Amino acid sequence: MEKKIILTGDRPTGRLHIGHYFGSLKKRIELQESGEYTPYILIADVQALTDNFNNPEKVRNNVREVAMDYLACGIDPNKTTIYIQSMIPEVAELTVFYSNLVTIARLERNPTVKTEIAQKREIFGESVTYGFLGYPVSQAADITIFEGKYVPVGEDQLPLIEQCREIVRKFNSIYGEVLTEPEAILSSGKRIKGLDGNEKMGKSLGNAIYLSDSEEEITKKVMSAVTDPNRIKKDDLGNPNVCMVAYYHNLFSTKEEIETVCEECKAGKRGCVACKKQLAKNISDTLKPIREKRAYYEQHPEEVDRILQEGTQKARKTAKETMKKIKKAMKLDYFE
């Protein structure tokens, strides 16, 4: 039996940043190139609308932005099927079927959902929408409509995969062994902190470096990064452990550079400005191939649209076949 893997994708609410790259994209590319899987990666525009329902233009505009980031980083449409979530109506249909198998109480107990609801209080207040509370059900449909066996996720997403496994077991216990129960592949990539030291990097926090940022934008952002608050003058003894510049050097600089930076910082021999300039150059050099490849797709939007259209058509064909089996098991195959 052919192995399949659903790459859960990203919500098109903005361009992808270096946190996405280190957290999930590198792993997806590694799995793609292994030749052991049939990868699918979705652009989750329906899920994005759960907390951007009043700004559909933002979601629509960012579908192509996210696609270009994927392609620029190395997601290969000849090896990975890239598709748009809303263009697969079978996912919405299956979400409705699954909604009968999950209680509201169970959704409210999901740790990932609870955390995200707390983060979205400024949007929802005390009244969370049905769509946002139920997005784990939609995610389960995303995975199972392609009979996904493996799902790469970070630790914070494990409760969502367990919710999906519960839905699959409940469905199969009622309708027969139709669905594939997915397994999580835990990503080794850690969450990257923002330039301000925040545990989360994001557009709304203004602390992110995007994969498509220019050399000038990267330099400007790095120059504003938080450093040791107790280090006032260049010759003050610094503490790299509380400096975000040192933190990013660990991601973008060589081992020798990191050692030199930390030693000179502790000894008061290197100023923060010089340290930041070196970091900005290293980040820019690392992202340069991605930036150049993305520039090509920016100049050829019709190629991006073609890739999305072909990927979505391919995904739709697979989804239709799976839905036939599901409807037959549920006795909903009228006139067949």
Domain shared by 182 and 307, yes or no: yes
47-72: pLDDT as tens digits: 999 889 999 999 999 999 999 999 99
Kindly report the three-state secondary structure assignment for every residue of 44-70: CHHHHCCCCCCCHHHHHHHHHHHHHHH
293-314: pLDDT as tens digits: 999 999 999 999 999 999 999 9
Domain count, the chain: 2
317-327: pLDDT as tens digits: 999 999 999 99
**Weakest-pLDDT range from 71-80, 135-144, 225-234, 294-303:** 225-234
Q: Residue 240 is part of a domain; what is its CATH number? A: 1.10.240.10
Domain shared by 54 and 183, yes or no: yes
Q: Residue 188 is part of a domain; what is its CATH number? A: 3.40.50.620
How many C-beta atoms lie closer than 10 Å to residue 15's C-beta? Answer: 18
User: What type of residue is 258?
Assistant: I
**pLDDT of 1 strictly over 80:** no
Domain shared by 132 and 241, yes or no: no
Q: Mean of the pLDDT values across residues 249-262?
A: 91
The C-alpha atoms of residue 196 and residue 200 are separated, in whole angstroms, by: 10
**In a domain? residue 138:** yes
Domain shared by 289 and 317, yes or no: no
Domain shared by 164 and 51, yes or no: yes
How many C-beta atoms lie closer than 10 Å to residue 111's C-beta? Answer: 12
pTM of the model: 0.89
Range of the domain at 220: 215-294
Domain shared by 188 and 220, yes or no: no
Domain shared by 135 and 223, yes or no: no
**In a domain? residue 304:** yes
114-123: pLDDT as tens digits: 888 887 776 7
For residue 7, name the pLDDT band (cuts at 50, 70, 90): low
The C-alpha atoms of residue 204 and residue 207 are separated, in whole angstroms, by: 8
Domain shared by 171 and 69, yes or no: yes
Q: How big is the chain, counted in residues?
A: 336
The C-alpha atoms of residue 253 and residue 273 are separated, in whole angstroms, by: 16
The C-alpha atoms of residue 90 and residue 330 are separated, in whole angstroms, by: 15
Q: What is the mean pLDDT of the chain?
A: 90
**In a domain? residue 205:** no
Domain shared by 231 and 276, yes or no: yes
The C-alpha atoms of residue 125 and residue 122 are separated, in whole angstroms, by: 6
33-44: pLDDT as tens digits: 988 889 999 999
